[in-house]
Structure 1
Amino acid sequence: MFWVLFLLMACAAALVSCGRLCLAAVRAADSERLAGDAHRGHELSLYETAFLSGGPGRVADVTLVSLARGRRLLLAHTGWATVVDPEGRDAMERSVLGAIGPDGQSRIAPLRATAAAGEAVRTLAERLVAAGLAVPDASRSTIAGAVRQVQAAVVAVLALGALATLMPGQDTAPGTPVAAWFALPLLLTLSCLAIARIEIHPYTRWASPTGQRLLAALPKGTGSLLAVAVRGVRAVDDPQVRAALGGGRGTTAE
């Protein structure tokens, strides 16, 4: 009957991990509800759309593309950015131009990372979180961690079940194999993951469900800055700019 100890361990892992995921989901929902009606009548700006669609990196991309289209910043396909006009028209542009430094030239990859982590983007994120349109960092990381814990619990249940089944001399009730008992915690964890995929998945993105509804209402288009904000670098219609942003990060366009 030593397999009962393994069963108790499997049940404990399943209950604790699923309970943590449920609690994280409830807190995320409460956070959006407490934001109240601040989002009502709100029209997303270009930078807000970029953040909700792709996070800080997307905001930096949109700013770089905007500066390049205005001929105030040259983006080379080799992955370098060169300042033409050092005067930024808003906080985001000033952040990007300031990140390039006094030399007026910088690699695009570190420039993008610095701009994404800048004060202007943090202020934008805080405003969107306060309006209930963006997911707070704490909620996003908590839910992601809880999902990983449930996934680990699935592996633990399978491992414990296999170990209990393979151990010799493990008697159980007539007609009930040991493995059948481990199906209960396994079913619990898999069901929890399935529900999370349907109900909680939206909270793991940058935009909250409310923010996603505003994004869905935006007009569709190609080649515009709005398209870049929504779809990423792959929506840039200038091949050189697209190559500069994609190659500068060492990846293909988003």
Structure 2
Amino acid sequence: MFWVVLLLLAWAVAGAACTRLCLSAVRAAATDPDAGRGHDLTLYEAAFLSGGPARVAELTLVSMARQRRLLLARTGWATVVDPRGRDEMERTVIGAIGPGGQSPIAPVRTATAAADPVRGLADGLVRAGLAVPDGTGSTVAAGVRQVRGAAVIVAALGAVALLMPGPTELPRPLVALWFALPLTLTLSCLVLARIEVHPYAHWASPAGQRRLGALARHTGRSAAGDDRAFLTSVAVLGVHAVGEPDLRAAFAHRERHLDPGSGQGREPDH
């Protein structure tokens, strides 16, 4: 009879996850279609809606590098050329690099993403109805992740039930069929979500996604090589989607924990 307990647990997990996903989809569909109307996204706002705080930090670094006020080396280091930031984001980046004027990019990106200007940007987008509050777990993306997790749990519970020693009241193929029902429920929800509400936005509300779509279409009509078009691509797609190998290499380095006295891993002064 223990397999019945596992089956009830599987149904509870699958039902709760699918219910949360459905409620998230309903809330997303019920959002104000006029939210953010007339709000022209800045590049920082587009970066946040596309990739969150880390994307804002990346965009700021790339923007300063394009203006030759910051050097981004392939080895993953940033060097300040012009220490005068032109806005709060740039001043945050310069402050994160530190008084020495050089720092690995990874910790600069992390510090900038967690700074007050980025949090203020996020709060403004939430108030405008273009972004969803962070950490609520109420987005469709969060719901999809929960249903995926539920599918794994149901499959694991079914495997435990089938591998349990001792006799059961039902043949094992029939036990497997019982567990296939909640598994089918979770997989069906994932398929419907893929069809109806894909792509799953983690940061942007439906209104924010529409504004991003309009921005991307406008950028597509911009002249090739235009700086703003390039920065918009970075904001919407990320640095790894642009066609500059040196830039991708600069951001590919992970933060390394080195012995300060070793001298290893330090980028030579430019």
- Do the two structures share a fold, i.e. TM-score over 0.5? yes
The yes-or-no answer on 1:17 pairing with 2:17 is yes
Cα distance in 1 for partners of 2:243, 2:166 equals: 66
Deviation string, structure 1 residues 54-97 (Cα, Å, up to 9, x no partner): 22122112211221222222222222222222111111111111
The yes-or-no answer on 1:208 pairing with 2:214 is no
Cα distance in 1 for partners of 2:104, 2:161 equals: 56
Which residue does 1:8 correspond to in 2? 8
Q: How does 1:165-176 map to 2 (within 5 A)?
A: 169-171=167-169
Which residue does 1:230 correspond to in 2? 236
Cα distance in 2 for partners of 1:153, 1:68 equals: 44
Paired-residue identity, %: 62
Moved more, 89-98 or 16-25: 16-25
Which residue does 1:104 correspond to in 2? 101
CA 248–237 in structure 1, closer or farther in 2 if over 3 Å, else same: farther
CA 140–152 in structure 1, closer or farther in 2 if over 3 Å, else same: closer
CA contact (8 A) 1:135 1:208 kept: yes
CA 164–58 in structure 1, closer or farther in 2 if over 3 Å, else same: closer
TM-score with structure 1 setting the length? 0.79
Secondary structure, counterpart of 2:136 in structure 1:
helix
Secondary structure, counterpart of 2:74 in structure 1:
coil
Cα distance in 2 for partners of 1:62, 1:2 equals: 55
Cα distance in 2 for partners of 1:41, 1:133 equals: 12
Deviation string, structure 1 residues 196-232 (Cα, Å, up to 9, x no partner): 3344554542222221211111222555222222222
Residue of 241, 246, 251 corresponding to 2:252? 246
CA 188–242 in structure 1, closer or farther in 2 if over 3 Å, else same: closer
Cα distance in 2 for partners of 1:119, 1:46 equals: 18
Which residue does 2:41 correspond to in 1? 44
CA contact (8 A) 2:77 2:105 kept: yes
Of Structure 1 and Structure 2, the greater helix share is in: 1
The yes-or-no answer on 1:127 pairing with 2:133 is no
Secondary structure, counterpart of 1:78 in structure 2:
coil
Cα distance in 2 for partners of 1:59, 1:202 equals: 20
CA contact (8 A) 2:142 2:202 kept: no
Cα distance in 1 for partners of 2:186, 2:158 equals: 14
Secondary structure, counterpart of 1:77 in structure 2:
coil
Q: How many residues align?
A: 245
CA contact (8 A) 1:56 1:117 kept: yes
Cα distance in 1 for partners of 2:243, 2:157 equals: 54
Aligned CA-pair RMSD: 3.2
CA contact (8 A) 2:44 2:235 kept: yes
Secondary structure, counterpart of 2:79 in structure 1:
strand
Cα distance in 1 for partners of 2:178, 2:35 equals: 50
CA 72–144 in structure 1, closer or farther in 2 if over 3 Å, else same: same
- Superposition deviation, residue 127 in structure 1: 0.9
TM-score with structure 2 setting the length? 0.75
Residue of 78, 87, 90 corresponding to 1:90? 87
Question: Residue type of the partner of 1:22?
Answer: C
